[in-house]
Amino acid sequence: MLKKEYLLIIPIILVGFLLVGCETIPQRTTEIAPSLQALEPANMNRFGDIPVPAGFRLNQEKSFIMESGGVRTGILKYTGKADPTSLIIFYKNQMPIYNWSTLNILQYADQMLNFEKDNESCIITTVCRGNNIELLITLAPKIPLPVLTKPQRRQRRQEVKEEQEKVTVKQPEK
């Protein structure tokens, strides 16, 4: 008798788990499907040129911003409700309005969108947490990498080789 009750309860629980949560495989389109609701930007954003969908709340305890001498950096953590595909579409449409260029978009169980503008880089990550979505906005300055000419690379390799020879201890002969 007890086994029959478990056989009825287990499928009900499994169906419940399948119905709860958020979609993890977004569609690869910039058009909004009829079942998706378009997201609107909030009126106030911590970084004026990085939009946040209306209805997402900032978690101040898990966020920080530092601005100094025209350099901005920070990690902002928001929580809200939205379809993951709607978020991708929102940022694909909104970031260019603020002169951000899309570098790439990685879609897996979560999504990661990479943007750049002038001397800054912005990474937007979405993570499904049950019925909610955590939205993580990371802003940092881009660090330019030096581009060496062929003679400069050759000279640098020679310098490294000379430094290694100075450090290398010769083994005594037996």
Q: What is the pTM assigned to this prediction?
A: 0.61
Domain edges within the chain: 53-143
Among residues 105, 115, 108, 170, the alpha carbon closest in space to that of 139 is found at 115
Tens of pLDDT, residue by residue over 98-110, are 999 999 999 888 9
Which fold would CATH assign to domain 53-143? TATA-Binding Protein (3.30.310)
The closest alpha carbon to 115, from 23, 17, 37, 49, belongs to: 49
Residue 115 — very low, low, confident or very high, per pLDDT cuts 50/70/90?
A: very high
State residue 57's pLDDT score: 93
Which DSSP letter does residue 157 get?
H
Q: Report how far apart, in Å, the C-alpha atoms of 68 and of each of 48, 64, 73, 91 are.
A: 16, 13, 9, 27
The widest CA-to-CA distance across the chain, in whole angstroms, is: 84
> Each residue of 69-91: pLDDT tens digit?
888 999 999 999 998 889 999 99
Is the separation of the CB atoms in 75 and 66 below 8 Å? no
Higher pLDDT, 32 or 55: 55
SS3 state of residue 50: coil
Helices (H), 23-106: 84-94
Residue 131, number of CB atoms within 10 A of its CB: 9
In the chain, what percentage of residues exceed pLDDT 90?
39
pLDDT value for 134: 95
CA 148 to chain centre: 31
The residue assigned the tokens 């008798």 is 1
6-40 pLDDT, tens per residue?
444 554 444 344 334 444 434 444 444 445 666 66
**Mean of per-residue pLDDT scores for the chain:** 78
